[in-house]
Amino acid sequence: MMDRRSFLTAASTLALGTALTGCNLQNQTGLKIRLLKNSIPAQLLNKFRRELPNQQLKLDFKPENQLQALFTLLQTWKRQNGQPQTPSTIAIPFLPQSDDATPPDLVTLGDYWLQTAIRQGLIQPLKAESWSQWKQVPLRWQELVTRDDRGLPSLKGKVWAAPYRWGSTVIVYRKDIFRQKDLLPPTDWGDLWREDLQGRISLPDQPREVIGLTLKHLGKSYNTTDLSTVPDLEPELRSLQKQVKFYSSDTYLQPLLLEDTWVAVGWSTDVLPLMQRGQPIEAVFPASGTALWTDLWVRPATSNTLSPLLAEWINFCWQPDIAAQLSLLSFAASPILPTLNATTLPHSLQSNPLLSPKAEVLDRSEFLEPLPEATVEEYRRLWEKLRRFQ
């Protein structure tokens, strides 16, 4: 699965680093979190610290560049659990000493990895009853993180994670080129098959995304478990193949900015920062619905101490004013936004279709659920067959 690339400025990165450093107070009690870089704005970290009743509590928030790196850390802590750590016999002055050997209280994890993390015993259930804001989280997000011990969605399962922001797969296009050539802007997946866009489109190099959007175009679910029940799927994929200039999950925006392509399918967190900087692009939340992802707080299975600040931090992320700031500053929406009075939100948030899509369109969108192994193999075979004739 993709890592969602960040395009925040160096100044923002520096501000985050400054805020994180300021949080490292020398005290034994506090909160230790390993989070995805730029997923929590520095302003909110500082605000949380200021609101603590005891200003001497240690807050250790360390960012990682990629979700994959955080998942790997969970595996490392699990593998090292119970093994004594051998201290180095040689002290190297002036170099910072890593404390990654000690599992934190919470870690950012993408929902794509949630099933695997549960099945591999990398994380432990959380106590949702300690979250005063839990009832404000929409039901679909509650159900996403409520799973059985195999990592499958189950209403009778345990709560394994706390969702704090989400994004989507979107269509992005060069609005200046469309205006110059008098082309109709895309509004839904079906526009990718338009003759006037042939050879001008890039798609993610991801079978779940490409096969999924084609299923959605055909009125089916992203999570269809038997592709043989959709006879039009392969012909439609072959037709779409003729429209595509290239596939890429990480370099799809550069050719768009260079006018090498006119349309791309990508992720909202990549697109929104560029739009904010005035690039001549526009993004569309597909009318028939799209794929959703969400970033979660999870607790490593090897974390033995329970910080009293853990529940406070999770609740803090769901406070209405914090949720609005988080959405605008991290370019990914808080899950509680749909439960808030829209008129109380900043206009820039209300008018942003990627962060505040229409309710009916969001309802038609889907998280990518775990698929049976037989279905995964079916996707793999179809994808290889498709790409073989590119």
Please give, one letter per residue, the 3-state secondary structure of 177-221: HHHHCCCCCCCCHHHHHCHHHCCCEEECCCHHHHHHHHHHHCCCC
pLDDT of residue 27: 37
Backbone angles phi, psi at 133, to 5 degrees: -95, 0
Residue 87 covered by a domain: no
Beta pairing, strands 30-36 & 106-110: parallel
pLDDT at 102: 84
The pLDDT score that the predictor gives to residue 297 is 98
DSSP H helical segments within the chain, as ranges? Answer: 10-23, 42-51, 67-80, 114-119, 139-145, 175-180, 207-217, 233-241, 253-257, 268-276, 310-317, 320-330, 347-350, 359-363, 373-388
Which parts of the chain sit beneath pLDDT 70? 1-29, 55, 82-100, 389-390
Per-residue pLDDT, 106: 97
Residues 144 and 183 in one domain: no
Task: Decide: 8 and 39 in contact? Cβ < 8 Å.
Answer: no
CA distance 24 to 47: 15
pTM for this entry: 0.86
Q: 273 and 320 share a domain?
A: no
Distance CA 352, CA 268 (A): 11
Predicted pLDDT at 103: 93
In a shared domain, residues 42 and 147? yes
DSSP code, position 55: T
CATH assignment at residue 118: 3.40.190.10
User: Which two tokens mark 381?
Assistant: 């075979």
User: What are the phi and psi torsion angles at 201 (to 5°)?
Assistant: -120, 140
Per DSSP, the three-state class of 54 is coil
Q: What is the pLDDT of residue 145?
A: 98
Residues 198 and 323 occupy one common structural domain: no
The predicted pLDDT at position 91 comes to 34
Task: Indicate whether 153 and 182 sit together in one domain.
Answer: no
Q: What is the pLDDT of residue 161?
A: 98
Q: Which helix (H) or strand (E) holds 259?
A: none
Residue 23 counted as domain residue: yes
Structure tokens at 129: 């009853």
Q: Are 154 and 16 part of one and the same domain?
A: yes
88 inside domain: no
pLDDT for position 387: 86
Are 286 and 300 part of one and the same domain?
A: no
Shared domain for 136 and 180, answered yes or no, is no
The answer to whether residue 91 is domain-embedded is no
The pLDDT value given to residue 67: 95
User: Residue 184 domain-assigned?
Assistant: yes
Does residue 373 sit in the same domain as residue 237?
yes
335 and 298 in a common domain: yes
> Could you tell me if 266 and 315 lie in one domain?
no
pLDDT value for 388: 81
pLDDT at 81: 79
**Domain span at residue 129?**
10-81+99-160+293-357
The token pair at 185 is 């802007």
* Domain tally, the chain: 2
pLDDT value at residue 233: 98
The answer on 191 and 155 residing in a single domain is: no
pLDDT, position 189: 98
The answer as to whether 3 is a domain residue is no
Task: Decide if 90 is inside a domain.
Answer: no
Residue with tokens 């101490």: 305
In whole angstroms, what is the distance from residue 110 CA to residue 108 CA?
7
Residue 4 lies in a domain: no
The pair phi, psi for residue 326, each rounded to 5°, is -60, -45
What span, in angstroms and rounded, lies between the C-alpha atoms of 144 and 234?
30
